[in-house]
Structure 1
Amino acid sequence: MNCSDSRESLSARIDGEEPAVAEDVLDRHLAGCPECRAWQGRATALRRAALVREAPRVPDLTARILAEVPAPRPRPWRLRVALGLVALVQSGLGLAELLGADVGHAVHGGPAHLGNESAAWNVAVGVGLLWAALRPSAAAGLLPALGGFVVLLGIVSGVDLSAGQVAVDRVASHALVVAGVALLFAVRRQHSRQPAPPSADRVPAPGAGWTGRSGDVAGDEQGQPQRRRFPQLPTGRRAA
């Protein structure tokens, strides 16, 4: 076996290809030919130098980045605490009503089941308000139901009060849930104004006039990214 055929097969083996000669024949030739062994070493080093390069040195910008990033503002908590207190009182009144205490919400003269339904609703309202106090992002989902309930309750209470079918103290007993909905709206408004990191809500537009699939972000005429109508969830909360 001459060195020319050996080096051709060695080159194929270095590149991950099948050599032209058998592996054992090539190994026996390498064992007895120092020139081919040296050539194999140089070829391996050359291939590695072409594939692997030293990463370019970059300056450490950690201090500069931390100096320019604004310090996080403390999250306001007073409205959430007030909403939590209203939720606890609302839940306590509902539980007391379930236990038979007269807290001004009972349905007098009506069936017992109707009174239990009213008490269960009061407890549910309190639990919902408490959840919104703990997780302000849930306030937006509770507002349509509780807001509609308070508006309709106010209309019905006004009609009954003007007709003399209900006393003023009975109508005043609903002030707690009205205050809860008002705080719920304030907490939702406060939460929506909190700055969020620009993660999946903004992505670079591929170009002016580009439109992608449903849910993608399109650029305007200047190629500036536009905000998504429905922000995507973080990658960690997506199904595989």
Structure 2
Amino acid sequence: MANKFILLILGIVIFAFVTNEANARNFTHILVKGQIFDETTKKPMGVDIEFRDAQGKKIKCQSNSISGEFQQVLNSSTQYTVILNNSDILRREFKFKTLETNDYAEQSEEWSVVVPKPGTVIYKGQIYDSNNDNFSSTGTEKLEELQMLLRFNRELHVEFVVNSLNSVSQGGRIQNLEQLVNRWTRENPRITIRQSKSKSDNDLVVVITKVKDFIKE
């Protein structure tokens, strides 16, 4: 009887050890070292930073107001929702994944924020596939981020300028964008869309047209 009890205790100890080792292998720490800067002026910015994992756990830190730099230890191979906010900027929310590694590592990041003023460009880049008028996977992610930006900053009005010269079919790209934005029932009234025929590598430019106040929480 005593031998069975000892074997049971030994089994529990071994199981706990193996479980801890497995967890340690699954979650190696990453030191994320980054800098936050103003999208327009490139000036370093001090902002509140929040990381949320899939379970809803929140990790908060701040970037330095002089250098814009921050450091935060996070789990490796993990996707976080990042929220950047303070009283002077538009609240920004986006997805971020740490490096996949079994050893300690450092990861460098640079993230931009927008100080809201009429005429400020908050995005310019490519959102469509190169050989058709459909949104690319990267473009879809960016459009989702822009939608969230408008959702949390309810007094922000913007103009989407679509480069029609890059369209594969006549007006195909602007039509696809209009159909998407029409489904944004809360944000759509504050968005205007127009075509541009200027020579540019950017499929889309988003410009602030009006801002009264914005959500800071």
Query: When the two structures are superposed, what TM-score results if normalisation uses the length of structure 1?
Result: 0.20
Bigger relative contact order, structure 1 or 2, given CA contacts below 8 A and separation 6+?
A: 2
Higher Rg of the two aligned structures: 1
Q: Which has the higher helix share?
A: 1
What is the TM-score normalised by the length of structure 2? 0.22
